Structure 1
Amino acid sequence: MSPDRSVRAALWSEVDGVLLLRSVATALVRLSEIGNLKTSALPYPEEAQRALNNTVLTCLVLKARPPESLPELVEWAAKRPVDRWPVTLPPDVVPPEALLLDEATHLPTQLCYEWAVDAEDSAARHSEQRYMTVVSQRCREENYPEAYRAFRLLLVRRPVLTHRELSTLPAAADNDLGFLGDLLYDVYQPAPAGYLDRKRQSYTACARCHTLLHPTTVGGLWCEQGRCRDLGTVRHGREYRADDGGGIQLLIRPLRQWVSAPGVLETRLARRLTDVGADVELWPGFGSYSMRVRFPDRATLAIEYKDWASPALLGRRAVPPPPDPPYDRCVWVVPATRLRDHPDFRTVFERYRSSTSLELMTDRELLRTTRQFIGPTGPSPRNAETASAPDGEAMEGLF
């Protein structure tokens, strides 16, 4: 790391606004796990009280009016964009008009989770690492990469299961989940009551990402994945009766956020790369990185697919993956929509990234480069329509 990057990394954790946002985001995520954020009552949980105290102190130092209670701090998070908070922050660390809580549901936004993960003392709790590390270790011990991929694909394709489906999956002859079965009960939990339509006594899944939709205060349904909301009207998918199959189980939020949601994009991108003639392996080396892409007579790429709201927080995590399985170049890929919605995304990422040994490109750029590399040798006629279709038409939700 160059001296200026070392200094930048040290200063990051000394900026009052950074410490405050970490504290508030961690508290909001924790509160969302244990109850309704809008009905928090005294005594407040320790993390929440600490976040409120830090916010009040910061406001007093900056001579701004502080929130008088935790419910008022929650309202701040749901209605006041972070770039308008009375805090001192490094430049461009929060996207314009971004909220920590969704205004319609008071659930943590992706940005809130990103700030919670940035806090070193809470990163393990709010990320996927402690769960996927166990899966990876078990599969390595058994030398069974198929089981790792089967487990990960399950989380991507089925973030919602009935209790009966959950209990019968490990014994099913058509999958490789047998020795991972006990872990399913750790990562799938009874669906929270907040997702239940009480009048119909049912849950509704999103037709795009397949997680449960959350009822809003105005009678609509809301998807926690911003890319689904950005596509326009929420699309209703499968409806589950509350008592279907012994009850509904929902993948826990850290795995929905960091495995299931990006996994939808990873699998779609892998399919399109394969269609234009690349050799693609998803989650090689028991999840060392997103995908390994090999071109005929050209370099092997290690691809990390990252869909983050904050390019600054993403840049701080930008380090190359492990060298096994081997690769020639490392590329971090972000959805093209991130750059469309945040034109300075690449510039901010470059400003804060901790390593210069990787490249950043959009999924569109990667596909365009792949087509150039492959040339007239692919794709096959069967896949030509999908591979050559204008970006955004062949795969809804990818571009």
Structure 2
Amino acid sequence: MHHDQAVRPVSWPESEGIRLLRSVATAMVRLSETTGTESLSRPYPEEAQQALNHTVLACLLLKAQPPVSLPELVAWATHRPLNDWPLTVPADAIRPGSLLLDEATRQPTQLCYEWAVDAEDSAALSEQPFMSTASTRCREEEHSEAYQAFRCLLIRRPVLTHRDLVTLPSADDGALGPLGELLHEIYQPAPAAYLQRKRRIYTACGRCRTLLQPTTKGGMWCERQTCRNRDSVRMGREYRADDDGGVHLLIRPLRQWVSAPGILEERLARRLVRSGADVELWPDYGAYSMRVRLPDGTTLAVEHKDWTSPALLGRRATQPLSGPHYDRCVWVLPAARLREQRRFRAIFERYRPAASPELMSDRELVDSVRKATGSGPWGEDATDNELTEGLF
């Protein structure tokens, strides 16, 4: 099917459970951005009060004991797996044991963000408003290099000092072009929750470079699950609280939906190039993740996805409606995610539209490209540094 043909996603039943999950997830994200979920303070965001009301009503209808306050609802989100909530949801919509808030920090989990962006009015919680602005500005000025530089900055430098914010727009002969002023909107002063108060420093993750958050037990926590899945958190660069005018952190929607997948996109692109393919990252101002051209002329539109919920991902599985021509569209998921959730493919298939991209692991994609280019099956370089950092 040509990518100019629109595909209407299959929607699941709008049950009360689905609406409730979206509502509570949105509330937890809003609370984390405003009052904080660790020590709630009034006034509560409107979404939080609505979520509490919806939860209480659902409990009354199902004859279950409801949370009596917003702090108790936060406690549910922190300690009570979603499969133990009084919910009526479609099969496989939630994974047993899943939580909306991390137990160590009470920060929203990735799953929480996935449910929040599933809501119809979720634009403010996604990367779309900012990336659309960047794409439009660069397209109008025909400045594709600026768009590429912007994506690289978000991936490689989620933490900036105030001096960086002032000097980067004019650095490298103005590589950011029309996007320099956008930095002040998307990089905000680092939240106090990330500050190690005794030493007055912020510490970046040695893997993904975002800030680590101290836990109540004296440890350090990274919001990125693939970093937490390692044996231990890797400590990276330290920033003094007053370094160069203060420390700024990229806003969470861009860290979640651009920076985190972008790390693996860049690594996957390098792997594909070494396998004999021609790769262009974020073609046509970000129409899709990468354009992969094989020696026989076949062109793949590759979207890199790393979602915890196969049901929510399946519902979003549509082919790009713009960008350079391609022959096949592939959505690529980290192989580790598929190993962690054995039924991921089956659940994804259950919820995806009839005409949608094929799902592959990053390793399967590399192996298929190596076969197409004649470079053979996966070789002895499978133990290099990129693999230990999360690819495959």
TM-score normalised by L of structure 2: 0.95
Counterpart Cα distance in 2 of 1:283 and 1:300:
14
TM-superposed CA distance for 1:45, in Å, is: 2.4
Structure 2 gap segments, 5+ residues each: 1-6
Amino acid paired to 2:48: A
Question: Aligned residue for 1:383?
Answer: none
Counterpart Cα distance in 1 of 2:354 and 2:318:
6
Q: Does 1:51 align with 2:44?
A: no
Counterpart Cα distance in 2 of 1:362 and 1:75:
35
Counterpart Cα distance in 1 of 2:315 and 2:232:
34
Specify the SS of the correspondent of 1:314: helix
1:1-399 to 2 correspondences below 5 Å: 9=11, 11-12=12-13, 14-121=14-121, 123-174=122-173, 176-376=175-375, 388-390=380-382, 394-395=386-387, 396-399=389-392
Counterpart Cα distance in 1 of 2:115 and 2:232:
28
Specify the SS of the correspondent of 2:329: strand
* Percent identity (aligned): 64
Specify the SS of the correspondent of 2:208: coil
Do 1:22 and 1:115's aligned partners in 2 also have CA atoms closer than 8 Å?
yes
Counterpart Cα distance in 2 of 1:135 and 1:6:
27
Counterpart Cα distance in 1 of 2:383 and 2:265:
16
Counterpart Cα distance in 2 of 1:159 and 1:355:
37
Counterpart Cα distance in 1 of 2:113 and 2:319:
22
Which deviates further from its counterpart, 108-117 or 164-173?
164-173
Rate the CA distance shift 1:7–1:210 in 2: closer, same or farther, 3 A.
closer
Superimposed CA distance per residue, residues 313-333 of structure 1 (whole angstroms, 9 cap, x where no aligned partner):
001100001242110000000
Do 1:38 and 1:71's aligned partners in 2 also have CA atoms closer than 8 Å?
no
Counterpart Cα distance in 2 of 1:242 and 1:387:
46
Task: Determine which structure has the larger helix proportion and give its number.
Answer: 1
Runs of 4 or more, structure 1, over 6 Å off, are none
Specify the SS of the correspondent of 2:302: strand
Counterpart Cα distance in 1 of 2:205 and 2:189:
18
Specify the SS of the correspondent of 2:180: helix
Rate the CA distance shift 1:309–1:7 in 2: closer, same or farther, 3 A.
closer
Specify the SS of the correspondent of 2:198: coil
Question: Aligned residue for 1:382?
Answer: none
Do 2:289 and 2:301's aligned partners in 1 also have CA atoms closer than 8 Å?
yes
Specify the SS of the correspondent of 1:232: coil
TM-superposed CA distance for 1:95, in Å, is: 2.0
Counterpart Cα distance in 2 of 1:7 and 1:212:
36
Rate the CA distance shift 1:372–1:8 in 2: closer, same or farther, 3 A.
closer
TM-superposed CA distance for 1:357, in Å, is: 3.5
Structure 1 gap segments, 5+ residues each: 380-385
Counterpart Cα distance in 2 of 1:305 and 1:188:
24
Counterpart Cα distance in 2 of 1:288 and 1:24:
31
Question: How much is the aligned-residue C-alpha RMSD, in angstroms?
Answer: 1.9
Counterpart Cα distance in 1 of 2:141 and 2:246:
32
Counterpart Cα distance in 2 of 1:6 and 1:271:
33
Counterpart Cα distance in 1 of 2:217 and 2:326:
50
Q: Report how many residues are paired.
A: 385
Do 2:35 and 2:44's aligned partners in 1 also have CA atoms closer than 8 Å?
no
TM-superposed CA distance for 1:195, in Å, is: 0.4
Superimposed CA distance per residue, residues 152-193 of structure 1 (whole angstroms, 9 cap, x where no aligned partner):
000000000111011100111355113211100001010001
Do 1:118 and 1:313's aligned partners in 2 also have CA atoms closer than 8 Å?
yes
Specify the SS of the correspondent of 1:36: coil
Superimposed CA distance per residue, residues 215-264 of structure 1 (whole angstroms, 9 cap, x where no aligned partner):
11111100000011012200000000001111001000000000000000
Do 1:16 and 1:88's aligned partners in 2 also have CA atoms closer than 8 Å?
yes
Do 1:124 and 1:130's aligned partners in 2 also have CA atoms closer than 8 Å?
yes
TM-score normalised by L of structure 1: 0.93
Amino acid paired to 2:363: R
TM-superposed CA distance for 1:276, in Å, is: 1.1
Rate the CA distance shift 1:288–1:8 in 2: closer, same or farther, 3 A.
closer
Do 1:162 and 1:248's aligned partners in 2 also have CA atoms closer than 8 Å?
yes
Counterpart Cα distance in 1 of 2:328 and 2:9:
27
TM-superposed CA distance for 1:7, in Å, is: 11
Specify the SS of the correspondent of 1:390: helix
Counterpart Cα distance in 1 of 2:299 and 2:281:
14
Amino acid paired to 1:239: E
Higher relative contact order (CA 8 A, sep 6+): 2
